[in-house]
Amino acid sequence: MDLAPDISVVVIVYNDAERLPTAVRSLLAQTLRNVEVVIADDCSTDGSYEVATSLAAAGPRRVRAIRLPHNSGGCGEPRNQGIAVARGRYVMFLDSDDTLPPNACRAMLEAAERTDADLVSGLCVRVHADSRHDRKDPWYPWLYRSTRTIESIADLPDLMVFDTLSTNKCYRRDFLLSSGLAFPKGIHYEDLLFSAQALLAARRITLIPNTVYTWNVLDKAEVKSISNRRHEINNFADRVEIHRRIDALLADRAMDGLKLAKDTKFLKHDLVLYLRELPFLDDDYRRRFARMADEYIAGFPPAAYAELDPIHAICAYLLLKEDWANLMPAIDTLINRQKISAPLAERDGRVYWCADHLDDPQGREVLDVTALGYHTRPLDHMAPRNRLTGYAVRDGRVILDGAIVNPLGVIPPGAVLTGELEFRARRRSLRSFRFPVRTLRHAGESVVWRAEVPLARRLRPLGIVDDVWDIRLRLDADGHRTATRLTAGNTDLGDAEPLSVRPLLSRLTADRLEPEVSAKGHLAFRLTQHGPAVRRTHALVERHLDGPAANAGKRAYRAARAGWRDLNSGRRKIQAYQQMLRLLPVRRGTVVFESHLGRQYSDSPRAIHEEMRRRGLPVTAIWSYAGDRPEGFPEDVELVRRWSWRYLRALAQAEFWIDNQGYPLKLDKRPETTYIQTWHGSALKRMGFDEPGYRMLSEPEQAAYQRSLDRFDHFVVRGEHDVRTLACAYRIPGEKLLRTGYPRNDALVRARETAAPDAAATLIAERLGINRDRPVVLYAPTFRAHPGGRVREFEFPFDVDRFADRFGGDLTLLVRTHYFNRIALPPSVAGRVIDVTGEPDITPLLLLADAVVTDYSSLMFDYALLQRPMVFFAYDWEEYSQDARGTYFDLLAETPGPVARTEDELFAALTDLSGVRQRYATRLKEFADRYGEYDRGDAAARIVDRFFGTADAGDDE
Amino acid sequence: MTARDIFFVANEVNELGGVARWQNQIARLLSERGHRVRIIGIAPPEVPMDLGADPPFETRTLYARRPPSPRPLPRLLARADLAGLRLEAERRAVMREAAARLSALFREGRPGAVIIVTQVWAMEWVALADTAGHMVIGMSHESYDYSRQSSRFQRVLTHYAGVDRLLLLTQEDADLWTGEGLDNTGFLPNPLPSEPDTPSPRTEKVVASVGRLSHQKGIDMLLDAWAEVAPRQPGWRLRIHGAGELEEPLKRQCTSLGLDGSVEWAGQTTDVTRALHQASVFVQSSRGEGFPLAILEAMACGVPCAAFDCAPGVREIIRDGEDGLLARPGNASELARVLDRLMGDAELRDAMGERARHSVRRFAPGTVADQWEGLFRFLER
């Protein structure tokens, strides 16, 4: 029998007598019994060593204690000493304030023995012990999704670059000794170097998904722990020094890939830890920090910047330039990602973070933020930075001055500006207080403002619970609205005279309101206690906030809140809906319309609705909308928000449902309601039960899906192709099919036959400023998905600038991506290439377009009706057609237009549109007939005839 | 070597199906190694499987009839439903009695005894019983994804959290359960159910499928795939072995696809090896699997497999492109394409069939039994 322990765990302790026993107990409770505990005391002065020796005495064969003769001041030396006396075949580390989960050692040993690895690494979980619910926060969990073994760290640089801990690992002791591995002394971040050395030396490394270490984190600890003390510049010096030593190891081994990954991570993470603190620190610190950082970063290759988010690269670049004026706003965006902090600058059709450094080629590259699309957003979708420039208190009134950045002049000089400051309690914001902003005016690249707020008199907090108040400035510029927080930075808040406050409950809960800066750098106010009586009361209240009575109150509050949430949860709503179905009467003449899940007023439901209006039929039209604000719906219809109570009630009582995609699958339909499913396009890709994902569903899941499909009473088809594909895929019996064609396509058929300019198309052209003397080409690609089904971000498959340069004088390109995607066109192509993705209805765009470029979008079936040229830009057909879903037919064999596989081929086809028209006229006709023979221009009329009849009032047009 | 007392506790001792076949085989293997094996079923089987002559283990069944399930009720209503509460209390009392019988059996176990809980339902009784001093190994015989589709998912998380080892079929499954917070996971493959002396001659133009005619086995998708491939490979036949509740609708689907000329419904087979010897290709179109015995058997017979890659166990057994071919789950056209490849290329069939016969030896019964004994020793350290 092997007498050596399987694993020795080295527990280091320094002045932590209180928690040491818990750590050791977690080792003695390991499911793997053959574990040795070595306690290494760093010469504590609080009796930790005595505790350690008594633990050793209690478990003589499993626990030993050693003591360093002098305090080493770090974690490294005690671990080194522990390794020196360890007897186990493997070694692990534990800090006295942490614990190991019961199966940690067993999982480590099993992986080590099975794979014969020198080093096994597992998941570490950080537990925030002082958070309200012991929040757990796994450490780089994406590294540990599955078990894997690598022969060299070069195969998985991320392991070294991100998970720099030494404690979540199990080392073969022979390996540590033969490689001469030891922790460095007298320097912070010893883990980084030790882990890097070990990972580089290891012959084989295994990663396991098991949680093998519990790291207890105290966020609110009075004294910040070593790794938290970023303020001190020495820390940064140590960090850089450790990185330099690791770089030397990598250089010795010529591991350039690892070095690059580490450089990128340094810019993205390490540097950011310090940058975040810069706005709060003085110039001297900033300068010293910048020098040290510059010296180190300057050696990084440009490739290190390639993988960074633009804002990371911008910050690093501006730091190198020591351009504080531009860096401080950039750091604000680094901390608050949604913010636009700089006025931005447009040069030569590109958008830049700032107007400086643009003569430097690297600056031009790094500062180019065109792709972020800032310039395409209206003010409503922007969060401009609002910097507090002045803070004073006079007679209980707070006088605030600030400046809101005006990116690219989005707030025009003549705009009517109004604003108010909103104060809202951070926790449980049941109440808010609003105060008008007196002055608001343009000043250079900003809008400056001033507000005098009678806080002492008007802000009446409860006194408990709502002790922190956040502030937003709500700005309105010509009806465009945005809300901004006030960035305090290092604005001086300290010297102003104190503000008194009168809480509603009692002045004894708090008597002062003090300004403070939140973690994200924003101004907030906190209730504080100054008078002695108030302080005593506060202490009492705090104590009782944890007493039985208060806890009962909290429980009641939580229960009430949970009850409210539950009442408005999807499950309850569905239950209530089923009750409504049974209890409420059907309202004759009501029709609930929905298009693309409420996204738009568009498509066939709209066409049917318009036909009803034209006839003046006495129906009540109710439209469903998604999102916060309905946009583009007519004035005279009733609007209900999708999933709201009113929506459910409208559906429950409607006589008709008309939509093109599907009402929530879980909502049943009563038999008295007629559901007309217009659908929204003929199919190229496999759909419904023809999709592998649906085929693989379990029996109950398939039955539930079928039930939701069985709600359709009628299903509109454009042709027999739809019958063969969609009707089969959704298992819709023949008698439910409406062979009328798509109502939305009536306009297309009419346009083909009359050749008159369409009014809606003309309207759009005018609105977008399109010159109709030049041909308009619509580019409408469909979306692409990752193998898992997640939608991929849109990237132009051709160079849009090159396109504009070549064709800009001859034609206008409209770009409409699938509604899953968003694009940001550079200003350089303005007027020549126009993003129309946001247009609610596509039919007028089809009417406007003299030609279409698409790949595999179902719009090809509709556009074919117009008999205008189409070009198929099928650059990735093989990949697209053979992905998990598959297609119903081979598109490339049937395209009614030229197929372009490259940018050059696409441009060639576009130069000769009239040739395309001539060559493909016959095939276009065949294609339209094959895939949409029922689209004859009277679909809406036939559907309304059948279900609603002609109005008594008759046709008024 | 230690001779151990080994208790298998399963839903049933011998319910016809893969789990019972596995249990019967592994119990025999461990008996042959000198361990004393007992199989305890909670309930009697609905369709019993023949355990063969003189099984080298004892069997016991705790209930004479299948015990009732707990009554799921909304919480508030449950408090008011006195009758329901009484029934539930009775059920728990009967459970405790049964668990006491289990405890008595376990107490006969000598030090080093092992309790292997084959299925999670049985764990509900083991959890109530006294297992003191014995190691408890819980098992799940299906893939993580397939568990997710049923109530077993939650029950595995609840009932297996405290066992000494939760044993899955593959590393991939074990990792997924670990990701759900279970840190006691491990894995062991199923052993080859049979080791035929001779391979299939692979001369018949027959594609064989073996499995129940149920939703899980996805024969509907196999028929769709066959409809695509049959016209391209005239002369080939699809022989479907098995019976089940979907026999009628599947036969109707076959007829409406016009496949009656090339599909044979062979019914349930008692001699799988013989069926495989009469085939040149094996196909599996399941929606969910664990570590499919049918594929192991086919490969052991040297019959190359085409299968949906529906579970980690499937890709663990078949090395795609080397000793068999995989299609993406639910993609009937792709299954048709891989069948087409095998049917159209005798050399490929022979090469893959021989490689399969060889590579599947890594799941030889002796090897798997060694792994089990190694696990027992490891859990004692």
Angle of helix A645-653 relative to helix A570-583, nearest 10 degrees, comes to 30
Question: What does the pLDDT average to over B318-344?
Answer: 95
Single out the residue of A632, A660, A681 nearest to residue A846, CA to CA. Answer: A681
Nearest-CA distance A102 → chain B (Å)? 9
Q: What is the mean pLDDT of residues A387-410?
A: 91
Judged against a pLDDT cut of 80, whether residue A336 lies above it is answered with yes
CA distance B175 to chain A (A): 5
Q: In chain B, which residue's Cα lies nearest the Cα of A699? A: B215
The residue of A106, A114, A214, A567 whose CB has the most chain B CBs within 10 angstroms, and thus the best one to mutate to test that interface, is: A106
Residue B102 near residue B40 (C-beta atoms within 8 A): yes
CA-closest candidate to residue B51, choices B27, B30, B70: B27
Q: What is the pLDDT of residues A813-856, one digit of tens each?
A: 999 998 888 888 999 998 899 999 988 889 999 999 999 999 99
Asked whether the beta carbons of residue B215 and residue A104 sit closer than 8 angstroms, the reply is no
Question: What's the pLDDT tens digit per position in B88-114?
Answer: 888 889 999 999 999 999 999 999 999
pLDDT digits (tens, 9 = 90+) for A172-201: 999 999 999 999 988 888 899 999 999 999
Residues A96, A99, A102, A103, CA torsion sign:
negative
Residue A221 binned pLDDT confidence (cut-offs 50, 70, 90): very low
A52 contacts A20 by C-beta, under 8 angstroms: yes
- Segment A7-23, tens digit of pLDDT: 999 999 999 999 999 99
A956 pLDDT band, cuts 50/70/90, is: very low
> How far is the alpha carbon of A787 from chain B, nearest alpha carbon, in Å?
11
Output the pLDDT for position A518.
83
CATH number (3.30.1490.20, 3.40.50.1360, 3.40.50.12580, 3.50.50.60) of A758-933 reads 3.40.50.12580
Single-letter amino acid, residue A929: D
Work out the average pLDDT over A358-381: 91
Residue of B nearest to A697 (CA): B287
Q: CB–CB of B174 and A147 under 8 A? A: yes
Rounded distance between C-alpha atoms, residue A673 and residue A947, angstroms: 12
* Interchain CB distance below 8 Å, B183 and A695: no
- For B184, nearest residue in chain A (alpha carbons): A103
Contacts of B171 in chain A (CB under 8 A): 146-147
Taking an 8 Å cut-off on Cβ atoms, the answer to whether B150 and A698 are in contact is yes
pLDDT at B71: 63
pLDDT over 90 at B313, yes or no: yes
What is the average pLDDT across A282-301? 86
- Put simply, whether B189 touches A (Cβ < 8 Å) is no
DSSP conformation class of B34: T
- Which residues, at least 6 apart from B47, have a Cβ–Cβ distance to it below 8 Å? B15, B16
Q: Which of A33, A101, A701 sits opposite B381 (nearest CB)?
A: A33
Res B254: pLDDT:
96
Boundaries of CATH 3.40.50.2000 in chain B? 5-191+364-379, 206-363
Distance (Å, rounded) from C-alpha A897 to C-alpha A923? 8
Q: Does B171 touch chain A (CB under 8 A)?
A: yes
Task: Read off the pLDDT of residues A255-270 as tens digits, 9 standing for 90 and up.
Answer: 999 999 999 999 998 8
Closest Cα in chain A, distance from residue B149 (Å): 7
- At residue A37, the 3 state secondary structure works out as strand
The reply to whether A381-474+484-530 and A571-741 are identical in fold is no
Output the DSSP codes for B125-155.
Answer: HHHHS--TTSEEEEE--S-HHHHHTSTHHHH
pLDDT value, residue B1: 59
- In contact, A203 and A225? CB cutoff 8 Å: no
Cβ of residue B178 closer than 8 Å to a chain A Cβ: yes
For residues B113 and B35, what is the distance between their CA atoms, to the nearest angstrom? 10
Collect all residues with Cβ–Cβ distance below 8 Å to A821 and sequence separation of at least 6. Answer: A783, A791, A793, A794, A837
Element (DSSP H or E) covering residue A802: helix A800-807
Q: How far is B55 from chain A (nearest CA, A)?
A: 34
**Residue B168 identity (one-letter amino acid):** L
- For domain A571-741, is the CATH number 3.40.50.11820? yes
Residue of chain B whose alpha carbon sits nearest to that of A108: B183
Q: Which residues is A863 bridged to in the sheet? A: none
Residues of chain A with pLDDT > 90: what percent? 62
Please check whether residue B28 touches A, CB under 8 A: no
ipTM value for the complex? 0.91
Tell me, what's the pLDDT at A520?
85
Is the separation of the CB atoms in A910 and A808 below 8 Å?
A: no
Helix (H) or strand (E) holding A392: strand A386-394
Which among A102, A146, A692 is the nearest to B331, CB-wise? A692
Question: Model-level pTM?
Answer: 0.86
pLDDT tens, residue by residue, A590-599: 999 999 999 8
Q: Is the pLDDT of residue A665 over 80?
A: yes
User: Mean of the pLDDT values across residues A216-231?
Assistant: 54
pLDDT band at A760 (very low <50, low <70, confident <90, very high): confident
For an interface test with A, the pick among B183, B185, B216 (most A C-beta atoms closer than 10 Å) comes out as B183
Interface of A with B (CB under 8 A): 6, 31-34, 101-104, 107, 109-110, 145-147, 208-211, 691-699, 701-702, 884, 886
What is the arithmetic mean of pLDDT over A518-542? Answer: 78
B178: chain A residues, CB-CB within 8 Å: 208-210
The mean pLDDT value for B55-73 works out to 84
Does A209 contact B175 at a Cβ distance shorter than 8 Å?
A: yes
Amino acid at A426: R
Whether the per-residue pLDDT at A708 is higher than 50: the answer is yes
Instruction: Say if residue A1's pLDDT is above 60.
Output: no
Higher confidence at residue A457 or residue A553?
Answer: A457
Indicate which of B223, B245, B331, B377 best probes the interface with A, i.e. most A CBs within 10 Å of its own CB: B331
Locate B34 and state its tokens: 């000198």
Q: What is the 3-state secondary structure (H, E, C) of A70-105?
A: CCCCCCHHHHHHHHHHCCCCEEEEEECCCECCCCHH
Q: In what order do the strands lie in the sheet with B58-61?
A: B58-61, B36-41, B5-10, B114-117, B135-139, B165-168, B185-187
The top-scoring range by mean pLDDT among A541-555, A627-641, A876-890 is A627-641
Answer whether residue A407 shows pLDDT above 90.
yes
Minimum Cα–Cα distance from A35: chain B residue: B381
- Please answer whether residues A378 and A631 qualify as being in contact, where contact means their C-beta atoms are separated by less than 8 angstroms: no
Rounded mean pLDDT of A938-953?
84
Question: Is residue A544's pLDDT more than 70?
Answer: no
Q: pLDDT tens-digit profile of A600-657?
A: 899 999 999 999 999 999 999 999 999 888 888 998 899 999 999 999 999 999 999 9
* Class (C level, CATH) for B206-363: alpha beta
Chain B closest-CA separation from residue A5 CA (Å):
10
On the question of pLDDT at B78 being above 60, the answer is no
Say whether B331 and A694 touch across the interface (CB within 8 A): no
Q: What is the mean pLDDT of residues A468-494?
A: 87
How confident is the model at residue B2, as a pLDDT?
78
Residues in chain B with CB shorter than 8 Å from the CB of A34 are: 381
DSSP code for B211:
S
Residue with tokens 């000198």: B34
Provide the chain B residues 66-105 that lie in CB contact (below 8 A) with chain A: none
Give the residue with greater pLDDT, B260 vs A530.
B260
Residue type (1 letter), B128: L
Q: Is the predicted pLDDT of residue B251 greater than 90, yes or no?
A: yes
3-state secondary structure of A536: helix
Looking at residue A955, its pLDDT comes to: 45
The arithmetic mean of pLDDT across residues B243-257, rounded, is: 95
**Could you give the CA distance from residue A531 to residue A511 in angstroms, rounded to a whole number?**
7
Q: Which CATH superfamily is domain B5-191+364-379 in?
A: Glycogen Phosphorylase B; (3.40.50.2000)
With 70 as the cut, is the pLDDT of residue A676 above it? yes
Domain ranges of chain A: 7-219, 233-376, 381-474+484-530, 571-741, 758-933
In B, which residues are within 8 Å of A109 by CB distance? 381
At A705, the pLDDT band (50, 70, 90 cuts) reads: very high
pLDDT confidence of residue A229: 42
Domain boundaries A7-219, corresponding CATH code: 3.90.550.10
Q: What is the pLDDT of residues A227-262, one digit of tens each?
A: 444 456 668 888 999 999 999 999 999 999 999 999
Q: What is the mean pLDDT of residues A523-536?
A: 80
Residue B219 structure tokens? 């024969």
pLDDT the model gives residue A448: 94
Q: What is the mean pLDDT of chain B?
A: 92
Does B203 reach chain A within 8 Å, measured CB to CB?
A: no
Tell me how far CA of residue B81 lies from CA of A575, B71, B84, B95, in angstroms: 21, 11, 5, 21
Task: State yes or no: pLDDT of A506 exceeds 70.
Answer: no
Distance in angstroms (rounded) separating the CA atoms of residues B361 and B299? 9
B330 CB near a chain A CB, below 8 Å? yes
Burial class (CB in 10 A: 0-12, 13-18, 19+), A109: buried
- In this prediction, residue A809 carries a pLDDT of 86
Give the containing element (helix H, strand E) for A259: helix A256-265
B 218-257 residues with CB < 8 A to A: 218, 221
What element of type H or E holds A247? helix A233-252
Average pLDDT in chain A: 89
Secondary-structure percent of chain B, ordered helix, strand, coil, rounded to 5: 45, 15, 40
pLDDT in tens, A137-149: 999 999 999 999 9
Nearest to B330 among A103, A695, A701 (CB): A695
Is the Cβ–Cβ distance between A656 and A674 less than 8 Å?
Answer: yes
| Contact B304/A at CB under 8 A | no
Average pLDDT over residues A36-56: 95
Q: Tell me whether B183 touches chain A (CB under 8 Å).
A: yes
The whole-number pLDDT of residue B82 equals 76
**Chain B residues near residue A702 by CB distance under 8 angstroms:** 215
Any idea which architecture A381-474+484-530 has in CATH? Sandwich (2.60)
Q: Does B197 touch chain A (CB under 8 A)?
A: no
- Give me the mean pLDDT over the A322-332 stretch: 91
The percentage of chain B sitting over the pLDDT mark of 90, rounded to a whole number, equals 83
Mean pLDDT to the nearest integer, A203-227 = 77
Tell me the count of A-B CB pairs closer than 8 A. 62
| B333 at A interface, C-beta within 8 A | yes
Residues B372 and B26: beta-carbon distance below 8 Å: yes
State yes or no: pLDDT of B23 exceeds 50.
yes
Residues of chain B positioned with their CB less than 8 A from the CB of A691? 330
Chain B residues whose CB is inside 8 A of the A697 CB are 287
Q: Work out the minimum CA distance from B329 to partner chain A, whole angstroms.
A: 7
